[in-house]
Protein backbone atom coordinates (compact mmCIF):
# COMPACT_ATOMS: atom_id res chain seq x y z
CA UNK A 1 0.00 0.00 0.00
CA UNK A 2 2.75 2.45 -0.92
CA UNK A 3 4.67 2.47 2.34
CA UNK A 4 2.79 5.29 4.05
CA UNK A 5 1.45 3.93 7.31
CA UNK A 6 -2.18 4.70 8.02
CA UNK A 7 -2.84 6.07 11.48
CA UNK A 8 -5.20 4.29 13.80
CA UNK A 9 -8.82 5.33 13.45
CA UNK A 10 -9.30 6.34 17.07
CA UNK A 11 -6.59 8.99 16.89
CA UNK A 12 -7.37 10.31 13.44
CA UNK A 13 -11.08 11.13 13.41
CA UNK A 14 -11.83 14.82 13.30
CA UNK A 15 -15.25 16.34 13.71
CA UNK A 16 -16.14 19.83 12.57
CA UNK A 17 -18.76 21.90 14.28
CA UNK A 18 -21.61 22.88 11.99
CA UNK A 19 -21.89 26.54 12.97
CA UNK A 20 -21.73 28.01 9.48
CA UNK A 21 -22.11 26.63 5.95
CA UNK A 22 -19.01 24.88 4.70
CA UNK A 23 -17.71 24.11 1.25
CA UNK A 24 -15.87 21.08 -0.01
CA UNK A 25 -12.16 21.36 0.70
CA UNK A 26 -9.57 19.70 -1.49
CA UNK A 27 -7.33 17.22 0.31
CA UNK A 28 -3.57 17.58 0.48
CA UNK A 29 -1.47 16.15 -2.32
CA UNK A 30 -1.31 12.33 -2.16
CA UNK A 31 -4.53 12.21 -0.12
CA UNK A 32 -7.91 11.30 -1.62
CA UNK A 33 -11.37 12.05 -0.27
CA UNK A 34 -14.20 9.57 -0.32
CA UNK A 35 -17.60 11.28 -0.10
CA UNK A 36 -20.56 9.08 0.79
CA UNK A 37 -24.22 10.01 0.82
CA UNK A 38 -27.59 8.29 0.94
CA UNK A 39 -31.13 9.10 -0.12
CA UNK A 40 -34.09 7.22 1.36
CA UNK A 41 -37.47 7.93 -0.26
CA UNK A 42 -40.69 5.95 -0.89
CA UNK A 43 -39.29 2.64 0.41
CA UNK A 44 -36.25 2.95 -1.85
CA UNK A 45 -32.67 3.50 -0.79
CA UNK A 46 -29.94 4.98 -2.96
CA UNK A 47 -26.30 5.51 -2.03
CA UNK A 48 -23.47 7.29 -3.77
CA UNK A 49 -19.71 7.10 -3.28
CA UNK A 50 -17.33 9.51 -5.01
CA UNK A 51 -13.52 9.54 -4.74
CA UNK A 52 -11.76 12.87 -5.42
CA UNK A 53 -8.04 13.57 -5.69
CA UNK A 54 -6.22 16.67 -4.43
CA UNK A 55 -7.20 18.59 -7.60
CA UNK A 56 -10.90 17.82 -7.15
CA UNK A 57 -10.82 15.37 -10.08
CA UNK A 58 -13.23 12.46 -9.66
CA UNK A 59 -11.18 9.26 -9.70
CA UNK A 60 -13.94 6.73 -9.12
CA UNK A 61 -17.65 6.56 -8.47
CA UNK A 62 -20.01 3.91 -7.20
CA UNK A 63 -23.78 4.00 -6.92
CA UNK A 64 -26.22 1.57 -5.41
CA UNK A 65 -30.00 1.27 -5.52
CA UNK A 66 -32.21 -0.95 -3.37
CA UNK A 67 -35.99 -1.38 -3.46
CA UNK A 68 -36.25 -1.58 0.31
CA UNK A 69 -36.64 0.77 3.20
CA UNK A 70 -33.82 0.87 5.72
CA UNK A 71 -32.80 3.33 8.38
CA UNK A 72 -30.56 6.17 7.30
CA UNK A 73 -27.82 4.98 9.68
CA UNK A 74 -27.76 1.51 8.11
CA UNK A 75 -27.84 2.93 4.60
CA UNK A 76 -24.99 5.34 5.36
CA UNK A 77 -22.98 2.54 6.94
CA UNK A 78 -23.47 0.45 3.78
CA UNK A 79 -22.33 3.44 1.69
CA UNK A 80 -19.29 3.91 3.91
CA UNK A 81 -18.40 0.22 3.61
CA UNK A 82 -18.71 0.54 -0.18
CA UNK A 83 -16.37 3.56 -0.04
CA UNK A 84 -13.86 1.71 2.13
CA UNK A 85 -13.92 -1.28 -0.21
CA UNK A 86 -13.52 0.93 -3.28
CA UNK A 87 -10.63 2.92 -1.77
CA UNK A 88 -8.92 -0.29 -0.66
CA UNK A 89 -9.30 -1.89 -4.10
CA UNK A 90 -7.63 1.15 -5.69
CA UNK A 91 -4.68 0.92 -3.23
CA UNK A 92 -4.86 4.47 -1.89
CA UNK A 93 -2.53 5.08 1.04
CA UNK A 94 -4.11 8.11 2.66
CA UNK A 95 -7.87 8.54 2.56
CA UNK A 96 -10.29 10.96 4.16
CA UNK A 97 -13.83 9.61 4.41
CA UNK A 98 -16.57 12.24 4.53
CA UNK A 99 -20.08 11.62 5.78
CA UNK A 100 -22.72 13.86 7.31
CA UNK A 101 -24.12 11.19 9.64
CA UNK A 102 -23.11 12.28 13.14
CA UNK A 103 -24.30 9.11 14.86
CA UNK A 104 -22.28 6.91 12.50
CA UNK A 105 -19.13 8.97 13.03
CA UNK A 106 -19.71 8.81 16.79
CA UNK A 107 -19.96 5.00 16.57
CA UNK A 108 -16.58 4.96 14.85
CA UNK A 109 -15.03 7.39 17.34
CA UNK A 110 -16.13 5.55 20.47
CA UNK A 111 -14.52 2.15 20.73
CA UNK A 112 -17.25 0.59 22.85
CA UNK A 113 -18.58 -2.90 22.94
CA UNK A 114 -21.95 -2.26 21.37
CA UNK A 115 -24.75 -4.73 21.88
CA UNK A 116 -26.75 -3.62 18.84
CA UNK A 117 -26.49 -5.09 15.36
CA UNK A 118 -25.39 -1.70 14.02
CA UNK A 119 -22.65 -1.53 16.65
CA UNK A 120 -21.31 -4.94 15.65
CA UNK A 121 -21.36 -3.96 11.97
CA UNK A 122 -19.46 -0.75 12.79
CA UNK A 123 -16.90 -2.79 14.73
CA UNK A 124 -16.36 -5.04 11.70
CA UNK A 125 -16.12 -1.99 9.43
CA UNK A 126 -13.57 -0.35 11.71
CA UNK A 127 -11.20 -3.21 10.96
CA UNK A 128 -11.57 -2.50 7.24
CA UNK A 129 -11.05 1.23 7.63
CA UNK A 130 -7.84 0.82 9.65
CA UNK A 131 -6.21 -0.57 6.50
CA UNK A 132 -6.42 2.66 4.51
CA UNK A 133 -7.56 5.58 6.62
CA UNK A 134 -5.71 8.76 7.45
CA UNK A 135 -8.79 10.61 8.72
CA UNK A 136 -12.55 10.44 8.92
CA UNK A 137 -14.39 13.74 8.78
CA UNK A 138 -17.99 14.60 9.48
CA UNK A 139 -19.22 17.37 7.19
CA UNK A 140 -22.51 19.12 6.61
CA UNK A 141 -24.72 18.25 3.66
CA UNK A 142 -23.68 21.31 1.61
CA UNK A 143 -20.15 19.94 1.37
CA UNK A 144 -21.34 16.64 -0.08
CA UNK A 145 -23.45 18.01 -2.95
CA UNK A 146 -22.06 15.85 -5.76
CA UNK A 147 -22.74 12.55 -4.00
CA UNK A 148 -26.12 13.86 -2.87
CA UNK A 149 -27.19 14.88 -6.41
CA UNK A 150 -26.06 11.55 -7.87
CA UNK A 151 -28.21 9.76 -5.29
CA UNK A 152 -31.28 11.73 -6.36
CA UNK A 153 -30.64 11.25 -10.10
CA UNK A 154 -30.25 7.50 -9.82
CA UNK A 155 -33.16 7.20 -7.37
CA UNK A 156 -35.48 9.02 -9.77
CA UNK A 157 -34.33 6.87 -12.72
CA UNK A 158 -34.31 3.56 -10.77
CA UNK A 159 -30.88 2.64 -12.09
CA UNK A 160 -27.29 1.88 -11.11
CA UNK A 161 -24.34 3.46 -12.85
CA UNK A 162 -20.68 4.13 -12.48
CA UNK A 163 -18.16 6.21 -14.41
pLDDT band per the 50, 70, 90 thresholds, residue 149: low
DSSP codes joined into one string, the chain: -TTPPPPPHHHHEEE---SS-----PPPTTEEEEEEEEEEETTEEEEEEEEE-TTS-EEEEEEEEESS---HHHHHHHHHHHHHHHHHHTT-SEEEEEE--HHHHHHHHS-----SHHHHHHHHHHHHHTTTEEEEEE--GGGGHHHHHHHHHHHHHT-----
What angle do helix axes 102-109 and 72-89 make, rounded to 10 degrees? 60
Cβ within 8 Å of residue 116, ≥6 positions away: none
pLDDT tens, 80-99? Answer: 888 888 888 888 878 888 87
Task: Choose between 60 and 108: higher pLDDT.
Answer: 60
The tens digit of pLDDT for each residue in 2-51 reads 333 333 333 343 434 344 445 666 667 778 888 888 888 788 888 888 89
Domains belonging to the chain, first-starting first, are 30-157 (3.30.420.10)
The pLDDT score that the predictor gives to residue 161 is 54
70 falls in which pLDDT band (50, 70, 90)? confident
Residues 107-119, mean pLDDT to the nearest whole number: 66
Instruction: Please give the average per-residue pLDDT across 124-153, as a whole number.
Output: 57
Q: Residue 159: pLDDT band by 50, 70, 90 thresholds?
A: low
- Mean pLDDT value across residues 93-120: 72
Average per-residue pLDDT for the chain? 68
- CB count, 10 Å around CB of 111? 13
Band the pLDDT of 53: cuts 50, 70, 90.
confident
Amino acid sequence: MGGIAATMLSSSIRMRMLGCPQKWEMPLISVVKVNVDVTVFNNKTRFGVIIHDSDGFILEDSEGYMEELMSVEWAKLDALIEGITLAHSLNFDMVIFESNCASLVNHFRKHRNYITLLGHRVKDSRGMIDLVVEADVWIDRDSNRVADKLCYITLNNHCNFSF
